[in-house]
Homo-oligomer: A and B are copies of this chain.
Amino acid sequence: MVSEAIQTVPVGRIGMVMATIRQRIAARSLVAGSRLPSVRVLARSMQVSVSTVVEAYNRLVAEGAILSRPGSGFYVASQLAPLELSALEPKLDRAIDPLWISRQSLEGDESVLKPGCGWMPASWLPQQTIRKALRTVSRGSAEALANYGSPLGLPPLRQLISRRLGERGVEAAPDQIMLTESGTQAIDLLCRYLLEPGDTVLVDDPCYFNFQALLRAHRIRMVSVPYTPAGPDIDALASILAERRPRLYITNSAVHNPTGATLSPVIAHRVLKLADQHGLIIIEDDIFADFEHAPAPRLAGFDGLNRVIQIGSFSKTLSASARCGFVAARPEWIEGLIDLKIATMFGGARLNEELTHAALSDSGFRRHAAALRVRLERARREASERLREMGVTPWIEPRAGIFLWCRLPAGLDSADVARIALASGLVLAPGNAFSVGQTASGFMRFNVAQMDDRVFEALQACLQQALLSHSDKEHAPSAQ
């Protein structure tokens, strides 16, 4: 009887039940040792037959994923449950899932249009400088070519970074600077160093979407503070610090990602007072520093690297291919970070450090950076005009950087627009991918360096398509 049932039930439904159970195990909503729903209960809730569930459970037992205790039920086996970031709660719609968007941008080839990505096209970066640096390093010492880097990292590069930080008002001795693989890896190391499971971390709303993916990997609770054109909303910040007691606050100061806003001195001071009051540590992500014409206030500058930690990298203005980032912090924290770096990566990437140093020391780099700022200013202005013509309105006109954070017309939902766009090979960055509080469904981030005529045309077409299907739903409840 049962075997006939198996033959007539499409594999599809059995597979669906199995996948559902596996998903709950992967997302850790069913943990090792916990009892699975009874066969009848699951059959009813999934609207399949009891024999489908029986077969699915039996196959899961054969796989070792669950155990059967006769008379008692089915239980999750004490089994390997790898950390599947894409399966963790909250399960995000792909169109606004930071991880999924990142993968689309990173995996796409040159034919994929990506005004949603966070980096400039290769042609905007200082190619000649990088080529020259490679040739310089090819003539370097055998040790530079072959040996592990020292734990803190190449001394001349740390001295160079120390000088550059000084130009931005941040005092950091070379030995308070530790080189890392990238800005992202610097923040990751800091999270491993400073946080314990169950801690809460504060981010801006909106914020750089990979912070969210990173914090998911640390199984950390995230809370957010609304961002204004001059920095975080101070009253909201005061409440959140008092109620939620986050351990850490991760933010940008000079060029906020995604809004392009700049932290004002007044708000900087108030943030630091609140941080002192509540024992808050701040990680100030300064990877867009080279995009500024004149330096804006840095939290690390006012604070003197007491409770503020600065991180930076050269991925945005030099090369994302020759990975090099850094942390600047109190000496005792640098000490502890060195140990963690050795344990998890052993030695540094000396070749990348030599390359970066050679490139940054080249006079061509400063000239290139100056020309880049001019080019970006023009690109922001032009993109702003063309977007406004389409009814897409920048929230502010940033004074530096590659991003425009814009409101879509007519109450459109940016996740809908992003989905439509993907079907035509256009990768967009919808607002809620940046928003822990999911308050930005009407917004989208645009990268002005990735926006040529093809992109504007494709965007126009997607907006029109979205407007059509939106007006069809006009009498339906708002998607926001």
A interface residues (Cβ-Cβ under 8 A, vs B): 64, 79-86, 99, 102-103, 106-107, 110, 119, 122-123, 125, 127, 130-132, 134-135, 137-139, 141-151, 181-182, 184-185, 188, 192-194, 196-197, 210, 213-214, 216-217, 247, 279, 281, 315, 319-323, 333, 336, 338-340, 342-347, 349-352, 354-355
CB-CB < 8 A to A344: which residues of B? 184-185, 188, 214, 217
Partner of A64, one of B119, B132, B142, B279: B279
Partner of A146, one of B182, B321, B350: B321
A197 nearest CB neighbor, chain B only: B197
Do A82 and B194 touch across chains, with their CB atoms under 8 A apart? yes
The CA of A217 and the CA of B217, in the complex, are separated in Å by 15
Shortest C-beta distance, A81 to chain B (Å), equals: 8
28 contacts between A and B (CB under 8 A): A79-B279, A80-B279, A80-B281, A82-B193, A83-B193, A83-B194, A99-B343, A103-B339, A106-B149, A106-B342, A107-B151, A130-B146, A131-B138, A131-B139, A131-B145, A134-B138, A146-B320, A147-B320, A148-B320, A181-B181, A181-B323, A181-B345, A210-B346, A213-B342, A216-B343, A217-B340, A320-B350, A322-B349
Best-buried of A132, A216, A319, A351 by chain B (most CB within 10 Å): A351
CB-CB < 8 A to A138: which residues of B? 130-132, 134-135, 138
CB-CB < 8 A to A355: which residues of B? 351
Do A127 and B102 touch across chains, with their CB atoms under 8 A apart? no
Partner of A145, one of B127, B141, B216, B345: B127
Contact A119/B143 with A85-B339, A351-B322 known, Cβ cut-off 8 Å? no
The CA of A196 and the CA of B32, in the complex, are separated in Å by 12
The CA of A139 and the CA of B134, in the complex, are separated in Å by 9
The CA of A247 and the CA of B32, in the complex, are separated in Å by 13
The CA of A130 and the CA of B320, in the complex, are separated in Å by 21
Partner of A106, one of B99, B210, B347: B347
Do A217 and B343 touch across chains, with their CB atoms under 8 A apart? yes
Shortest C-beta distance, A445 to chain B (Å), equals: 16
CB-CB < 8 A to A247: which residues of B? 80
The CA of A247 and the CA of B281, in the complex, are separated in Å by 35
The CA of A102 and the CA of B132, in the complex, are separated in Å by 34
Shortest C-beta distance, A109 to chain B (Å), equals: 9
The CA of A346 and the CA of B209, in the complex, are separated in Å by 11
Shortest C-beta distance, A100 to chain B (Å), equals: 9
Main secondary structure of the interface of A (DSSP, over half): helix
The CA of A340 and the CA of B214, in the complex, are separated in Å by 8
Shortest C-beta distance, A455 to chain B (Å), equals: 18
Do A127 and B150 touch across chains, with their CB atoms under 8 A apart? no
Contact A321/B85 with A135-B138, A216-B343, A344-B184 known, Cβ cut-off 8 Å? no
The CA of A322 and the CA of B322, in the complex, are separated in Å by 10
The CA of A415 and the CA of B315, in the complex, are separated in Å by 44
The CA of A110 and the CA of B146, in the complex, are separated in Å by 13
Partner of A84, one of B99, B141, B197, B336: B336
A152 nearest CB neighbor, chain B only: B107
CB-CB < 8 A to A350: which residues of B? 320-321
Do B106 and A122 touch across chains, with their CB atoms under 8 A apart? no
Do B103 and A342 touch across chains, with their CB atoms under 8 A apart? yes
The CA of A84 and the CA of B337, in the complex, are separated in Å by 8
Shortest C-beta distance, A99 to chain B (Å), equals: 5
Contact A340/B85 with A106-B347, A320-B347 known, Cβ cut-off 8 Å? yes
The CA of A214 and the CA of B123, in the complex, are separated in Å by 40
CB-CB < 8 A to A147: which residues of B? 119, 122, 320-321
Shortest C-beta distance, A314 to chain B (Å), equals: 11
The CA of A344 and the CA of B343, in the complex, are separated in Å by 16
Interchain residue pairs A-B with the least CB separation, the first 7 = A134-B138, A213-B343, A122-B146, A122-B142, A125-B146, A321-B350, A321-B351
Do A321 and B343 touch across chains, with their CB atoms under 8 A apart? no
Partner of A142, one of B127, B214, B339: B127
The CA of A123 and the CA of B213, in the complex, are separated in Å by 42
CB-CB < 8 A to A143: which residues of B? 110, 122
